[in-house]
């Protein structure tokens, strides 16, 4: 994939070249305003299937549909001008066959204009990654803890605690790389193992609950800014407390409405007001 020199947007190939370089900054985004705010500061925006939980209230990411991912991908693309935008392929859209995976990936890219797609799985999904890449669509892999497999795994279980599991993770990383992925997310994996995986493959690794030695890091933006209203995972660092800010704003608004101090003179229209003409 050759980058157009007139295009200022970061491409998947640009991300691939960042292996071992300055860490790659990634965050999730699901909406136009958040994409606008994050875009100047990040290298990559992931329209994650976590949107099913974060914005739609589902218990797991399995609530995400292809239509949901496309709609949010379109919103993020409207708000982004610089970052490489990657859209998650939701559960059920790619596992059945390579042909099914290609069809879903093409639809996502054609309808959103995003730069790449992401799917979960290693050895078991390598043929799907290879088929999508063969069609000219960049793919980000995802190994370690895989949220789409949470029901099969019996919960959110940290990976890399046994020798057999470490060997399986190494095989998954190798399979994703051989299949042609431009990068791979490593989630919920013992720190030393994630660091070993990063050294083991030639494509960038993006950590979440993994290792500071990964080539980049990603967080769910709502977790990062303190918007998560349920349990906050251990690996999250909250850089703001928007829960408190929003709750306080709502409480003050409610008090002013009930006391009839809002709306005040500055927030209503009169025929004499210059604000009426703006």
- Summarize pLDDT for 110-152 with one digit per residue, the tens: 999 999 999 999 999 999 999 999 999 999 999 999 999 988 8
Residue 5 in this model has a pLDDT that exceeds 60: no
State in Å, rounded, how far the first CA of the chain is from the last one: 47
Q: Are 157 and 104 in contact (CB under 8 A)?
A: no
Active-site residues, by number, are: 187
The H or E element containing residue 95 is: none
Question: For the whole model, what pTM was predicted?
Answer: 0.93
Computed over every residue of the chain, the mean pLDDT equals: 94
The pLDDT assigned to 276 comes to 57
- Which band of pLDDT confidence, cut at 50, 70 and 90, is reported for residue 156? confident
* Calpha distance 135→189 (Å, rounded): 31
Over the stretch 31-78, which tens digit does the pLDDT of each residue have? 999 999 999 999 999 999 999 999 999 999 999 999 999 999 999 999
Cα separation, 56 vs 224, whole angstroms = 18
Q: Which helix (H) or strand (E) holds 47?
A: strand 44-47
DSSP assignment string, 127-154? HHHHHHHHTT--EEEEEES-GGGHHHHT
pLDDT (mean) for 157-182: 97
pLDDT at 164: 97
Q: Is the pLDDT of residue 155 over 90?
A: no
């Amino acid at each position: 994939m050759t980058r157009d020199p007139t295009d200022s947007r970061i491409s998947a190939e640009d991300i691939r070249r960042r292996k071992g370089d300055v860490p790659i900054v990634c965050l999730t985004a699901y909406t136009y305003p958040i994409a606008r705010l994050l875009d100047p500061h990040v290298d990559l925006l992931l329209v994650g299937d976590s949107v099913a939980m974060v914005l739609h209230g589902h218990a797991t990411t399995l609530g995400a549909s292809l239509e949901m991912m496309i709609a949010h991908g379109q919103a993020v693309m409207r708000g982004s001008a610089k970052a490489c935008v990657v859209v998650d392929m939701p559960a059920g859209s790619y596992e059945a066959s390579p042909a099914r995976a290609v069809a879903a990936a093409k639809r996502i890219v054609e309808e959103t204009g995003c730069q790449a797609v992401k799917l979960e799985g290693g050895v078991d999904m390598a043929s799907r990654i290879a088929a999508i890449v063969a069609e000219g669509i960049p793919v980000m892999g995802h190994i370690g803890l895989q949220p789409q497999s949470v029901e099969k795994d019996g919960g959110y279980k940290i990976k890399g605690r046994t020798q057999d599991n470490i060997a399986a993770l190494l095989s998954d990383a190798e399979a994703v790389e051989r299949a042609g992925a431009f990068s791979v997310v490593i989630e919920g994996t013992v720190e030393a193992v994630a660091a070993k995986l990063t050294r083991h493959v030639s494509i960038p690794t993006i950590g979440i609950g993994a290792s500071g030695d990964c080539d980049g890091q990603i967080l769910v933006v709502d977790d990062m800014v303190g918007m998560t209203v349920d349990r906050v995972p251990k690996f999250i660092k909250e850089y703001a407390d928007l829960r408190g800010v929003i709750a306080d704003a709502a409480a003050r608004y409610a008090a002013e409405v009930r006391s009839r101090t809002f709306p005040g003179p500055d927030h209503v229209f009169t025929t004499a007001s210059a604000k009426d003409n703006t």
